[in-house]
């Protein structure tokens, strides 16, 4: 008997406050989704909209994914009824990476200047958060990832140059890339967030190969610097039940703990990876060798 369900059961946008709510999908449900349903459940499009905050609440480890593009004014991080909190970060922490022009994040009156690929972490208890761009012609693009927090860690920024870059891969296998780690055990301290980004070199297109899963943590990929006429094919699903999403520039993909996550583009690109869950050990992965995939 084939399982029947509606998209509305799992995808419930809050019409009045601009934050989408997405619930869990099991591997059994996911393998029955068609292309449009896969995209509605796991792809977050149009994250960067002029002078708006776009947020999506995922029930995988209760992570909130967001984007802010301040063009003509400063943008305040809003609170939302679904959080049942006095302010957004009352019980949460927040990682922010800028993938656009120069900008600033103002947290409880303290200014953090962020150039492209710089990061700032805001800890539990930060009440007022605002986002600004230095130029209307080249606005900042702030990608947000938030998780529940049980302890207050200090607000801290980190430039790309100080993010312990690691060169990996080879030109011969089309995956030569640089990994930057910002929020992790040996970097900016957090309760459970792990966050960084990967930049692929010209001529390289594969990311996160060899593939893996980690059932102790969910993950979100945010793709950026994807040229207008190019796309990234993001592979997901169980290693023996693979599915894929075709992803454009400035779109995010929710990766459940049971799902593998790797991709290939029609040109080189960058992507932000972020995780939350049981631990913060970057190397805690269960390999899914390429030759075993189906």
Question: Distance between terminal CA atoms of the chain?
Answer: 23
> 7-292, what's its fold?
Jelly Rolls (2.60.120)
| Beta-ladder partners of 45 | none
Classify each residue of 5-32 as buried b or exposed e, where b means 16 or more C-beta atoms within 10 Å of its C-beta. eeeeebeeeeeeeebbbbeebeeeebee
Q: Measured at the alpha carbon of residue 66, what is the angle toward residues 63 and 72, in degrees to the nearest 5?
A: 160
Residue pair 276/191 in contact (Cβ under 8 Å)? The answer is: no
- For the record, the structure tokens of 99 come out as 């993938």
The mean predicted confidence, pLDDT, of the chain is: 92
For the segment 173-182, the average pLDDT, to the nearest whole number, is 96
pLDDT > 90? residue 283: no
Structure-token match 């799902």, residue found: 259
pLDDT digits (tens, 9 = 90+) for 116-175: 999 999 999 999 999 999 999 999 999 999 999 999 999 999 999 999 899 999 999 999
What SS3 class is residue 223?
strand
In whole angstroms, what separates CA 236 from the centre of its chain?
A: 15
Element holding 57 (H helix, E strand): strand 53-58
pLDDT > 60? residue 3: no
Residue pair 56/65 in contact (Cβ under 8 Å)? The answer is: yes
Please give the order of strands across the beta sheet that includes 232-238: 206-207, 262-265, 232-238, 241-247
pLDDT > 80? residue 6: no
pLDDT > 60? residue 51: yes
> Closest Cα partner for 126 from 158, 91, 82, 97?
91
pLDDT digits (tens, 9 = 90+) for 69-124: 999 999 999 999 999 999 999 999 999 999 999 999 999 999 999 999 999 999 99
Euclidean distance between CA atoms 44 and 31, whole angstroms: 19
Q: What integer pLDDT is reported at residue 8 of this predicted model?
A: 36
Residue pair 183/193 in contact (Cβ under 8 Å)? The answer is: yes
Euclidean distance between CA atoms 287 and 70, whole angstroms: 40
- For the record, the structure tokens of 86 come out as 């006095």
pLDDT > 90? residue 49: yes
For the segment 36-62, the average pLDDT, to the nearest whole number, is 96
Q: Which band of pLDDT confidence, cut at 50, 70 and 90, is reported for residue 277?
A: confident
């Amino acid at each position: 008997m084939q399982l029947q369900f509606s998209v509305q059961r799992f995808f419930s946008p809050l019409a009045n406050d601009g934050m989408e709510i997405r619930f869990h999908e099991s591997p059994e449900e996911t393998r029955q989704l068609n292309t449009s349903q896969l995209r509605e459940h796991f792809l977050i499009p149009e994250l960067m909209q002029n002078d708006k905050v776009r947020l999506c609440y995922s029930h995988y480890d209760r992570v909130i994914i967001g984007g802010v593009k301040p063009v003509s004014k400063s943008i305040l991080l809003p609170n939302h009824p679904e959080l049942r909190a006095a302010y957004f970060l009352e019980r949460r922490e927040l990682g922010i990476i800028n993938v656009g022009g120069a900008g600033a994040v103002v947290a409880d009156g303290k200014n953090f200047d962020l150039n492209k690929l710089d990061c700032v972490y805001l800890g539990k208890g930060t009440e007022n958060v605002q986002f600004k761009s230095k130029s209307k012609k080249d606005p900042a693009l702030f990608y947000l990832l938030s998780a529940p927090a049980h302890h207050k860690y200090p607000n801290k920024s980190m430039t790309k140059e100080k993010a312990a870059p690691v060169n990996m891969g080879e030109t011969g296998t089309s995956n030569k890339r640089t990994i930057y780690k910002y929020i992790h055990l040996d970097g900016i301290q957090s309760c459970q967030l792990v966050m960084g980004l990967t930049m692929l070199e010209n001529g390289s297109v594969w990311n996160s190969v060899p593939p893996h899963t980690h059932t102790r943590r969910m993950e979100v990929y945010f793709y950026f610097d994807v040229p207008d006429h190019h796309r990234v094919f993001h592979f997901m699903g169980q290693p023996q039940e693979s599915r894929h999403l075709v992803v454009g520039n400035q779109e995010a993909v929710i990766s459940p703990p049971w799902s593998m996550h790797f991709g290939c583009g029609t040109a080189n690109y960058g992507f932000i990876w972020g995780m939350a869950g049981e631990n913060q050990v970057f190397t805690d992965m269960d390999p899914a060798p390429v030759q075993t995939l189906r």
